[in-house]
Amino acid sequence: MNTHEHPTEGIAAAAFEVAAATASLVSNLLTHVEHLVGDVVADAGDVVRNGGDLWDVAAERAEDIGRAVAATPRFARIAGELLRIIAAYRLHFAVTATRAELRGAAAEAEALEALHTWSAERLYALCVELRGGVLKLGQFVSTRVDLLPDAYVTALSRLQDRVPPVSTDAIVERISDELGASPHACFKQFDSEPIAAASLAQVHGAELADGTPVAVKVQVPGIEAIVNTDLMALRVVVPALGDLVPFLDLETISAELARALRAELDYRDEAGHATAFADRFAGDADVVVPRVHSEVSTQRVLVLERLRGERLIDYLDACEQRGERGARDRDRLFEILIRSYCAQVLEHGLLHADPHPGNFLVLPGPDGPRLALLDFGCVQEYPPARRRAYAELALAVLASDAPRMAAAFDAMGFRGRGGKTEALQAFAEVLLDGFRADVSFASRDIDARAAFARLIHLTRDNPIVAIPPDFVLLGRVFTALGGLLMRYRPNVNLFQLLVPQLMRAQSA
């Protein structure tokens, strides 16, 4: 970014020099953020003052959390870099009009793309270095392939399966502490090289005493304290995001994500969830859940049946190279994926709420590909009454019945400012747009970026001020699966998959 041509440009460039990482949902809305800040900043002086205000918010919140926590290097690094990147984007858009007038629209677009690229790479580096909750956040952001700038997709998608592993010695020590003996004593064979490395855990191949192949999921040593620090940093950043995403109840979202992240640290709960999922899908040959070996599992070590399959993204990419047969396999796989998630929410009341592509494997089957679900650390439960309520809301949205939608939103605990439901209805319509007509998803002309642009304009004056906590993880699933649908455009009829489940849920 060459910004030496004008003093205002120089101020923006100076901010970019110190900007470091990015915040998750803000990056989805960057191309529209000028509408939110254009009225606030009018000249260079306002720009500088606006950046300073962000730091004031951070300082006040940090004092509330505690000086000892704020002083830790990890906390300061995360909170500081996220707040700086928010300020950098504010600064960028505050001088957009001046820069475009002086250098032209093409130069303005180039400057924005350079900022995207630099910020995305810094965020990737931060996630890999710090791991923990920060890396988990980056993985979630990377699933929004339909809305993110290309630079973020390119950088953050590398987090799905290229996370550097922790040392084998540390993993061996953790297993020894949990099982009371070294892994070589507990297993007939234990592979020192990991199968996969994730944000909170690492998976190694092994064999039980009888030769049964298993996958040993081991919690990264010291991750509990790391996650707590990361969540404290998130609490600092949330107030600075409020006016950038006014249609989201960020306090509820951050609190629910924090609860879910902490729950992932107890593998006894995850083992119970995996067993429950296996029971629920026992009659569905297309959905596979690995068996839990509880006799060698603890709070921080989870031993599961080892499934040998192909990663979801690798399989879908390969389908695109196999012509008509590949298209049929792709469509079958998406039907299984969508059908299984509809069943989870509306029939089983048990939601697999961490649907990033690394948590799925594709297995061969007699009738075509089957889908294996992995990692049950993040699960949301829905009792029967709540399942019926979500079914009622979805039917109202699909029918475009505004009064019915308003009543359903109110009954479930959604709130718009002043009791208005326009923003809530628009948000629901964006989420369910692909399900609207009785036609194939591939033939639907859905522009997700344009839809979110309309949503921002609508919610600027009518924000969503409250959402029920049990919607947070469901919204996360919607966005992740929506990103996959937008990327691969399968020839599946979402309406036909959803409506029978809705009708059964209402009558249950």
Strand extents, DSSP E, 315-446: 350-352, 360-363, 370-373, 379-381, 415-416
Q: Are residues 298 and 327 in the same domain?
A: no
For residue 469, which phi and psi values (nearest 5 degrees)? -55, -35
Taking the model in full, what pTM does it have?
Answer: 0.71
pLDDT band at residue 74, thresholds of 50, 70 and 90?
confident
Output the six-digit token pair for 338.
């969508």
- Structural contact between residues 78 and 87, judged by C-beta atoms closer than 8 angstroms: no
Give the range of the structural domain holding residue 53, as residue numbers without chain letter: 7-157
Q: Is 499 left (phi over 0), alpha (psi -120 to 50) or beta?
A: alpha
Give the pLDDT mean for 87-104: 78
- Structural contact between residues 92 and 12, judged by C-beta atoms closer than 8 angstroms: yes
59-63, 172-176, 372-376, 436-440: least confident range? 59-63
Q: Are residues 301 and 318 in the same domain?
A: no
Helix (H) or strand (E) run with residue 465 in it: strand 464-466
Give the pLDDT mean for 281-287: 96
Question: pLDDT (tens digit, 9 = 90+) per residue, 324-352?
Answer: 999 999 999 999 999 999 999 999 999 99
In a domain, 229, yes or no: no
Contacts of 40 (CB under 8 A, 6+ apart): 46, 50, 94
Residue ranges in 421-493 assigned as alpha helix (H): 422-432, 448-459, 469-488
Q: Are residues 199 and 277 in the same domain?
A: yes
Q: Are residues 405 and 278 in the same domain?
A: no
pLDDT band at residue 91, thresholds of 50, 70 and 90?
confident
Contacts of 292 (CB under 8 A, 6+ apart): 271, 274, 275, 302, 303, 304, 305
In a domain, 257, yes or no: no
Q: Are residues 288 and 325 in the same domain?
A: no
Rounded to 5 degrees, what angle do the CA atoms 315, 317, 319 make? 70
Distance CA 349, CA 384 (A): 7
Q: What is the pLDDT of residue 68?
A: 40
What 3-state DSSP class applies to 213? strand
Higher pLDDT, 199 or 42: 199
Question: pLDDT (tens digit, 9 = 90+) per residue, 362-391?
Answer: 999 999 999 999 999 889 999 999 999 999
Q: Are residues 173 and 150 in the same domain?
A: no
Residue 403 in this model has a pLDDT that exceeds 80: yes
Output the six-digit token pair for 354.
């961490």
pLDDT band at residue 65, thresholds of 50, 70 and 90?
very low
- Percent of the chain, pLDDT > 70? 75
pLDDT band at residue 455, thresholds of 50, 70 and 90?
low
Counting every residue written for the chain, the total comes to 508
Residue 263 in this model has a pLDDT that exceeds 70: yes
Give the pLDDT mean for 461-481: 79
In a domain, 163, yes or no: no
Domain boundary among 252, 284, 305: 305
Please give the torsion angle defined by the CA atoms of residues 154, 159, 164 and 169, in that order, rounded to the nearest 10 degrees: 180
In a domain, 249, yes or no: no
Give the CATH number for residue 184.
3.30.200
Q: Are residues 114 and 218 in the same domain?
A: no
Output the six-digit token pair for 174.
């953790």
Residue 25 in this model has a pLDDT that exceeds 90: no
Q: What is the tally of structural domains in the chain? A: 3
What does DSSP assign to residue 344?
I
Q: Are residues 206 and 336 in the same domain?
A: no
Domain boundary among 284, 305, 326: 305
